[in-house]
Structures are given as C-alpha cells and as structure tokens.
Amino acid sequence: MAFELTSLSKISETSSVSVFTEAVRKAEKPIVIRGLVKDWPLVKAGNESVLTLLDYLAGNAKSGPIRFLEAPDGSNGYFFYNDRLDGFNFERRQTTFKGFVDRLINHLGRKQAPVLSIQSAYVDEYFDKVGDENRMDVLGEAVRARIWIGNATRVATHNDDAENIACVAAGRRRFVLFPPEQLSNLYVGPLEVTPAGAPVSLASLIDPDFDRYPKLKDALGAGSFSELEPGDAIYIPTLWWHHVEGLEAVNVLVNYWKGGAVGGEAKPGGFDTLLMAMLALRPLPLQQRKAWQAWFDHYVFNGNNDEIEHIPPAMRGILDELKPDRRKQIKQWLIKQLSD
C-alpha cells in the first residue's frame, strides 16, 4: 500500500529560494508543506464560503472568453479517453468567467452533474490583482502562476517534465505519487494523443482493476499519498507520477512549474529527445540498441566530466558546457538532419 508523504510546517510563504532549496528541493522527493499559503486572500475567501471565493475571483476576472473542459456525469470525475481510446470523454468550451461560475453554482449539490474545470490557466491572463495578492516565489519570481478551478475533478496519473509546487487554495485535494521508475507498472497510454498534453496511466486508482492491470499493485506498493487542506502545498519533483483528486464541491489550486517544456524553458525537452530516440533507435536490432544504450549511459546519464578530462579544452566541443550560440548551432544542425 502507498505510504503517507512527509510533511513540513516550518517553511513560510516568505521563505527565500535558498531556504526552500535546502529544505525541500535537495530531498529530491515529494514533500507536503503545511500552511505555505494559508495567508493568501484567496485561501481566506474559500475558508469563508464557496460564494465568497467565487465572488473574489469574479470581482477580479478580466473581460473576454475563458476556456474550460466539461465531461458528462458518469465520467467518474475524469477528463479522459473514450472507451476506444480514439477520442476523449470531454468537450472544450468557451464562455465568460461569470458564465463558468454560474454553471458551477447551478450544479452545486446535485448528484448528477457534469464535471467542469478551468485547467492550467495563467492567473495573470484571466484575473487582475489575484496574482499580486496571492504570491508564492520560492521557485523564483519569474515563474508564472497557473490556476485550476472546478468541481470534484480527477486528474489521471501523469507526470510533468518540470518541478512543480501545487498550492491548494480552496477545497481539499488528494495526491497519490509514484517515483519515475514506476513507469513500467503504470500502463501508460498513447504518447502523442493525450487528454491534456502529458501521457497518462490507463489504470484508474478509483476502484482499480487488478485483473486487467496487475502490475499496478507493485506501483501502489512504491507509491505515497497525502490529503491537502486549503493553504497547504506540495512539492513534486520533475517526472514524478501523480494522480490528483478534488474532494469538495468546488476546488481551486494554484501551481508553479519551473523548468522543462511545460515550464516554458527547455527546447528541445526530454520528451522531444525521447521521440527522436524512438524514431532513430527503436527499429534497430536488440544488440545495436544495447550498444547505443552504452553511449547514452556514458555521455548522458552517467556523465560526470570524467569522459572529457583527456581532451584538450579547446577541442571538447559539445562535450563541454554549451554557450547559447553553440546550442543554437546544434539545434540548426539537428533541424537540417530531420528535414533531410
């Protein structure tokens, strides 16, 4: 069975990047930070009532359309594939924020209701002042906040190619997490066609089907979980798998991604590299793939500069630390190879 995550309660919202790095990032594992954003006006509004929370957001909403997802009742809270995996069980819609709030309120308390969610929207694109009044800068001031607003939604097990701090602003959330090496036990679906950009596990954690997905038991044995209250946050390292469940009628989460393609930094990203490796290496005979595995292990995964000490500095080329101009040249060369 999954075990409960370690929690911290001594890191305040005003902690510096260096303090956070020492206390959390260096642990290289998920950690819950109790009360990190408990003083946010957004959290205080949610603690007062759902209507106060939605009034606070609506009062700061910018004019213009907002995008949201809607899945029918019977989707078990998931925005997911259809039964054939050739499409999805939800629709992408557009309205004003007031229209979304009205729809959300209209379904409160109903046993049969659609699943509604604004997902991964930049706070500064949808709201005035909300970003300034509810700040969390321990990953650096340049990281843009994103907001998730909806009813009792579930996000299928997936990972992100960036560090993530997810802050529960309203409602409660349950997180179940798995180390990156549990990939082979999670029955990941298609890589190109995905519900929200990242590949997801096809094995539901709600009433799991162990007959169909027997290795999921091993994943759960290596997993961890935690339930977060409003004001709590969780740090999720890069590529850790996580399943997220909103437990209340209305839930709001604000998250911050740093690094990777999802954080707007790495191009090409690790996933791009994986696709290129699959294109070039996967068709090869097993022995050749193993030979290339030795190259990747030596130069990428196990590299610690021992492999270049015997080469004069002026001749190390791509093996040395790359400056922006050199990175640009290599990208242009790769584009040419792929084009040819």
Domain boundaries, the chain: 3-258, 270-339
In the predicted structure, residue 14 carries a pLDDT above the cut 60 = no
pTM here? 0.90
Mean pLDDT score, 17-36: 85
Tokens of 133: 């009044």
CATH superfamily of 3-258: Jelly Rolls (2.60.120.10)
Using CA atoms, how far residue 96 sits from 67, 68, 244, 297, in Å, is 8, 10, 26, 50
Are 60 and 127 in contact by the 8 Å Cβ rule? The answer is yes
Mean pLDDT of 83-97: 94
Average pLDDT, the chain: 90
Number of neighbours of residue 165 by Cβ within 10 angstroms: 23
What does the H/E/C string look like for 119-160? EEEEHHHHECCHHHHCCCCCCCCCCCCEEEEECCCEEEEECC
Residues facing 168 on adjacent strands: 253
Q: Is the dihedral of CA 148, 152, 158, 159 positive or negative?
A: positive
pLDDT at 266: 65
More confident of the two residues 109 and 215:
215
| SS3 call for 269 | coil
Give residue-wise pLDDT tens across range 228-276.
999 999 999 999 999 999 999 999 999 999 988 887 776 788 888 899 8
* Tens-place pLDDT, residues 282-338: 999 999 999 999 999 988 888 676 778 888 888 888 888 888 888 888 888 888 888
User: How many CB atoms lie under 10 A from the CB of residue 49?
Assistant: 11
List Cβ neighbours of 75 (8 Å cut-off, separation of 6 or more): 89, 90, 115
Which stretches does DSSP call E strand in 26-140?
Answer: 31-33, 66-71, 91-95, 115-122
Percent of the chain surpassing pLDDT 70: 96
Under a CB-based contact definition with an 8 Å cutoff, are residues 119 and 244 in contact? no
**140-190 pLDDT per residue, tens:** 888 999 999 999 999 999 999 999 999 999 999 999 999 999 999 999 999
Cα–Cα distance between 47 and 230 in angstroms, integer? 8
Token look-up 């959330």 returns: 173
Classify strands 241-246 and 154-158 as parallel, antiparallel or unpaired: antiparallel
Identify the band that residue 18 occupies on the pLDDT scale cut at 50, 70 and 90: confident
